[in-house]
Amino acid sequence: MHSSTLCVGADVHLKEITLRTVDKLTSVEVIAPFNVTNNLPGAQAAASRLAAVAAHWGYTDIQLGFEATGMLWLPFHRFLVTCPLPQPFDLQVVCFNPELVADLKDALVLRGPKDDARDAFDIAVRVQVGHRPISYVPDDVWQGLRRLTHYRFKLAGNLSQGKMRVQSCVFLKCSDWNRVKPFSDVFGATSAALLT
């Protein structure tokens, strides 16, 4: 059976998602670039339009790629992998490290225009080229735990930086405070009361 693949590049931003489609074999752009809002109705519109295009042109596979920058891509990704519309077309969703796409952009165009449509096209071409990395996107429970752990790590770093700043200020007021260590905890209640 003849298998044809529709390669889709999505450039995801806070307000909208720009999508471009390319035929895997011919490198021809199948439809004009289109934008959808980055919310549930926009994701539904993108899924239905891609399914309609794939059905109209007789594609059996849809390969969709986007850069995994920040968290803006996550709701769109979650919707696509659970949406029933593109599932008959053997949907493959790939999250690219932005560096993988940036290197390809440099190879495609020297000093090309920088806009959302161009970025979406470059991502579609990256999907078309192949050699895609294995994308692992944890489910919602692990994704939440991941975000909380990352946030806790950042808070601990900020707390550590704050303590270092306070200790440098304490040095200006009483330079032997850290060297002599009159208290086990420089930030304890007694130490803070004496310093203030």
Q: What is the pTM of this model?
A: 0.66
Half-sphere exposure of 82 (CA within 13 A, CB side): 10
In this prediction, residue 43 carries a pLDDT of 94
62 and 109 assigned to the same domain: yes
112 and 43 assigned to the same domain: yes
Alpha carbons 166 and 169: distance in angstroms, whole number: 5
In this prediction, residue 111 carries a pLDDT of 55
54 and 100 assigned to the same domain: yes
Could you give the 3-state DSSP secondary structure of residue 42? helix
Q: Give the structural domain span for 82.
A: 5-137
159 and 69 assigned to the same domain: no
111 and 154 assigned to the same domain: no
48 and 30 assigned to the same domain: yes
CATH of residue 9's domain is 3.30.420.40
147 and 176 assigned to the same domain: yes
125 and 39 assigned to the same domain: yes
Domain's final residue, options 137, 164, 180: 137
Nearest residue to 164 (alpha-carbon basis) of 151, 195, 156, 180:
156
90 and 175 assigned to the same domain: no
In this prediction, residue 66 carries a pLDDT of 86
| Contact predicate 100/133, CB 8 Å | yes
Q: Determine the distance from the C-alpha atom of residue 190 to the mean position of all C-alpha atoms in its chain, rounded to a whole number.
A: 47
In this prediction, residue 51 carries a pLDDT of 93
In this prediction, residue 1 carries a pLDDT of 37
| Contact predicate 137/75, CB 8 Å | no
In this prediction, residue 49 carries a pLDDT of 94
Half-sphere exposure of 62 (CA within 13 A, CB side): 28
Domain count, the chain: 2
Mean pLDDT by 10 residues, the chain (196 residues): 78 91 88 93 94 92 85 87 87 79 62 69 74 67 83 92 85 77 79 78
145 and 89 assigned to the same domain: no
51 and 84 assigned to the same domain: yes
Nearest residue to 120 (alpha-carbon basis) of 1, 4, 14, 12:
12
Phi, psi angles (nearest 5°) of residue 113: -65, 145
In this prediction, residue 100 carries a pLDDT of 66
In this prediction, residue 2 carries a pLDDT of 47
70 and 85 assigned to the same domain: yes
